[in-house]
Amino acid sequence: MSKDTFPFSSASLRSLRLEQEFQEWDDSRRALARRRAMTRAQLPRAPRPPPGQQRLQEVRAPPPQVRCRDAAVHNTFMCGDMQGVYAVLRDPGMVNALMETVQEEMVWIPEMMWTLSSRVKLTSALRLAAGRGHAGCVEELLFRDAEVNADPGGNTALHDACMGGHAACVQLLLCHGAEPEVLAADGGAPLHLCTSAQSFRCAALLLDAGADVNARMRESRLTPLHVAARRGLEEHVALFLRHGADVLATSREGETPLNAACCGAERPSEAGRYLRVIQKLLDAGADPRTAGRKQHTPLHNACANCSPRIVEVLLQHGAKADAANCAGYTPLDCLLQVVEDYPDKQPEAVARSLLNHGLKQCLLSVPTLEVMLNSYEHRSFFDLVRERSGQPRSLQHLCRCALRRHLGARCHSAVGQLAIPARVREYLLLRNDGALQ
């Protein structure tokens, strides 16, 4: 062996060979880009056939669709491994290949039992890369003429990119001809899938590309504003309203975005965010009295979630405190059904707001109230009731009842304008002070 040479191991040789192949493919890619950038001369017109000779049209069958179930190939695009992507795309048919994944699911069969069944789901390399936000991989596939509007499995790559909140991928897809209003198999547009705070930039790009801000889902008839309000996405709601979203649009169930926002405010930690969304909708002209098919108003939903501040805002904008749904339930009935579920969310504040905005008697049966008090186990409250049981009602209490009866639904606004001490105002508005008065 010459002194100027040294042995290579098999692993070293394989590494050098892969590096050489990678360099060759990169050179060919760059050469192809340069050729595409060059201006081509216009082709001459085809010669006309002689008179009387029939022109024959050549029809070529499309190439067969490539299908791939190799999990390693799927992972290559899901992980954005560019070196692996170049290796896979040496076969041009893999650019638009159908990626098949087999999943085991429990299925209920008529024999009243559960069984394990295999289900094949379709996707594509472009969908896998766009759904995980691998912009470099998406760019490479689009450069190799991947079908940007293909929808294997029912969704396009644009749907998956919006669902994941990957703005860079959304921009690439739109620049390469993706339809901003394309509907998925379930009837949803890409705007309907902008359901996270990270997808705000995606929604803005779609609207700039001409997406319809009032697009409807095929079955539910929901608009993007419904979806954003339901999830409490403040920036999305403001964006859609700036682009002319219909704040009075109704879904298949007759519900408006305002009703959707009041329904979504379930957690106390999110109450402030939903309150700001509701305020934006009301400022844009939302009607708090609009009810769905079951006559369920936004106030019913707010009371069912025990949200005192939302209830107060709705009442100040004209919501009816005594509105009944198709089952005959008022907002107070909805509140009483969930009092035990939300003991720390101030249900008494909700009841006080309803009473101060025109709600009349909440219990018409005095004997029923007597039975309830006799069965009540709260010792301090029971002692207070027993202490007061032998005494007539005070003049102060009688005056409050007479004044509230006279003011009716104007009680909250009228009392606030009276030139009276703050403690008297709080007393008239039923503020809790731990005493029966």
In this structure, of 15-24, 90-99, 335-344, the range with the lowest mean pLDDT score is 15-24
Q: Which tens digit of pLDDT belongs to each residue from 227-280?
A: 999 999 999 999 999 999 999 999 999 999 999 999 999 888 888 999 999 999
In this structure, of 226-240, 325-339, 368-382, the range with the lowest mean pLDDT score is 368-382
Q: What average pLDDT does the segment 339-346 reach?
A: 80
Is the overall model pTM greater than 0.75, yes or no? Answer: no
Q: How confident is the model at residue 383 (pLDDT cuts 50, 70, 90)?
A: low
Mean pLDDT of the chain: 82
Name the segment(s) of the chain with CATH classification 1.25.40.20.
Answer: 65-178, 213-359
Greater pLDDT, 198 or 44: 198
What is the pLDDT, as a whole number, of residue 292?
86
* Residues β-bridged to residue 100: 122
- Give the H/E segment covering residue 336: helix 331-336
Greater pLDDT, 287 or 421: 287
Q: How confident is the model at residue 378 (pLDDT cuts 50, 70, 90)?
A: low
The residue type of 428 is: L
Q: What average pLDDT does the segment 358-386 reach?
A: 60
What is the pLDDT, as a whole number, of residue 417?
77
What is the pLDDT, as a whole number, of residue 39?
45
Q: Classify domain 213-359 at the CATH superfamily level.
A: Ankyrin repeat-containing domain (1.25.40.20)
The residue type of 246 is: D
The encoded tokens of residue 258 equal 């305002």
* Rounded Cα gap, residues 350 and 362, in angstroms: 13
Long-range contact list for 287-291, CB < 8 A, 24+ apart? 287/248, 287/256, 287/258, 288/258, 288/314, 288/317, 288/318, 288/319, 289/318, 289/319, 289/320, 289/323, 290/248, 290/250, 290/256, 290/258, 290/259, 291/254, 291/323, 291/325
Say which CATH architecture domain 65-178 belongs to: Alpha Horseshoe (1.25)
The encoded tokens of residue 339 equal 């009092």
Q: What average pLDDT does the segment 64-76 reach?
A: 87
DSSP summary character for residue 345 = S
